[in-house]
Chain A
Amino acid sequence: MSRLYLARDPRVAARSLGGEMMIMSGRDSTLFILNQTATILWQAADGATPLDEIVDSRICAEFEVDRCESLQDAESLARELASHEILQISEEPIQPRSATVAESRAESRVGEAQ
């Protein structure tokens, strides 16, 4: 099974507000509020760490969840975020287009689109 790499799409605008991550799409200015899992993926999306390692270190290590199921859910979520051009996904490590600032740790709720 090939590995999936995630990187934050540099075209978005983003800020953590009281533990919730606000993301504005660079494509059409749609605003998203990321849920808890999406926020974890966003924060860990450095282009170099594969998704399975993110799931192991940031999801399975912190929550009592089935690894296989979590990985499937995370991949599905990553693809959804990529469809909104919030994340970039690739089967190869992704070189950052430009540096991004580290966002503060966020806790969130179910993802919503405008």
Chain B
Amino acid sequence: MSSLMLEMSAKALKLNIPLSVHLDLTYRCNERCVHCYLDHDDHGEMTTSEIKHLLDEMAEAGVFILTLSGGEIFLRKDFFELLEHARRLMFCVKLKTNAVMIREKEAQRLKDLDVESIQISIYSHRPEVHDAITLVSGSLKRSITAIRFLKSQGLKVIIANVLMTQNMQDYPGVRALAGELGVECTLDPTVTPMMDGNRSTVALTVDHETLQQVFRDPVLVGDVDEFCAIAPKAGEDDLNSAPCSAGHNACYVSPYGDVFPCVAFPLPTGNVRRQRFVDIWRHSDQMNEVRSIRVKDLTTCSSCSHVGTCTRCPGLAFLEGNMRGPSTQDCEKSFARTGVPSANMLNKKRNAAKLVQIRALPALAGASA
């Protein structure tokens, strides 16, 4: 993030302005990715006029960066009408899509509407791996074709590569593909639970050894020694800081109008069909509770040696049962990065040791029977 954007983010935080909003236009999708956290049935998406009204409210509230995502955004027949409205309101629009419905005509319209960037999910450079994750035959080929159309228009494209068990050896191939296509590439080793709390998808997370390998790849992390260094002891500023931008200068709106602190933080705070967006943002008890949390308030994490550098996600912590608690997936990342177990991991180890003693009791009971 540029220094000016950091400065504007800090200012938005101070003024309580939602600088950035992620809006999912639909949960419907034409792919069925094995790790997806969404229910793809339509439970009553906002209409065209409802979304336009929401965009008006968001512009008035000061939202600058608008990420349109899904589901698959191009499944909405009114997608370009909504995008035109958003650009008329002068949002900086970023798109997230699988791109399989983008052809030359759509790429041209995206260029005409001056979207800032288009992020496209690519899981592997090998069709047999990518298509086995999306569960749609030919999807890699179609996404790559779309990237070429978008690039030919001069648009900024970012390949988003989620690392999981099925594709963990393929990230160098995806990076090479991105290089060949002339686009950026990001890698994310976090597989999130489903929004309803179902954690089955988390089983797809890569193992400790793969995380270590990724965190020690200079192509990905730059200076490995610096990246893997143990954080210096947290100071007062660290402990008094907000744990994340969720609910502070950013939030998420679902296709049904529900407002959450973040797409990965499914704590309901209000619904724009019944309330004004800005009223939810400013006055929701839940939003204000999230906003009140400082690093020093985090149970376990505030005393953890990783607190200064951990990527702890409050949404993942919430899905584990406590928004002030640790996010185990981030503990594992800090451990893989530094070799030092987190306070949460040490606590779990101590508690597991106690459970072993309890397990001996049935044997005693059997001996006495």
Contacts and interface: CB of A to CB of B under 8 A. Distances in A.
B145 to A, nearest CB: 25
A6 to B, nearest CB: 16
A17 B88 contact: no
B171 to A, nearest CB: 26
Contact of A17 (B2, B17, B93): B17
B90 A33 contact: no
B241 to A, nearest CB: 21
A22 B114 contact: no
Given A22-B8, A98-B88, A100-B88, A15 B64 contact: yes
Contact of A15 (B4, B15, B63): B63
Nearest to B91: A13
A14 B114 CA distance: 13
B352 interface: no
Interface in A1-38: 10-18, 20, 22, 24, 26, 29, 31-33
Contacts of B90: 12-15, 100-101, 103
Given A17-B64, A22-B64, A31 B17 contact: no
A11 B4 CA distance: 20
Contacts of B64: 13, 15, 17, 22
B92 A17 contact: no
A31 B2 contact: yes
A114 interface: yes
B297 to A, nearest CB: 27
Contacts of A69: none
A26 B114 contact: yes
Interface size range of chain B in the complex? 20 to 34
B4 A112 contact: yes
Contacts of B19: 17
A33 B15 contact: no
A99 interface: yes
Given A13-B64, A100-B90, A101-B90, A24 B116 contact: yes
Interface residues of A, number: 24
Contact of B92 (A13, A33, A98, A100): A13
A19 B5 CA distance: 16
Nearest to A9: B114
B59 interface: yes
A23 B291 CA distance: 27
A102 B62 CA distance: 13
B12 interface: yes
A13 B5 CA distance: 13
A94 B85 CA distance: 22
Contacts of A22: 8, 64
B236 to A, nearest CB: 26
Nearest to A32: B4
A11 B114 contact: yes
Interface string A84-114: 0000000000000011110100000000101
Interface string B1-43: 0111100100110010101000000000000000000000000
B89 interface: yes
Contacts of A12: 90, 114
B88 A101 contact: yes
A23 B191 CA distance: 35
A22 B20 CA distance: 13
Interface of B: 2-5, 8, 11-12, 15, 17, 19, 59, 62-64, 84, 87-93, 114, 116-117, 156
18 contacts: A13-B114, A15-B59, A15-B63, A17-B15, A17-B19, A17-B62, A17-B64, A18-B11, A18-B15, A20-B11, A29-B156, A31-B2, A31-B5, A98-B84, A98-B88, A101-B59, A103-B90, A114-B2
Those 8 A-B pairs whose CB atoms lie nearest each other, nearest first: A13-B92, A15-B64, A11-B114, A14-B90, A26-B114, A114-B2, A31-B4, A18-B15
Given A15-B64, A17-B62, 4 more contacts: A12-B90, A13-B114, A33-B4, A98-B88
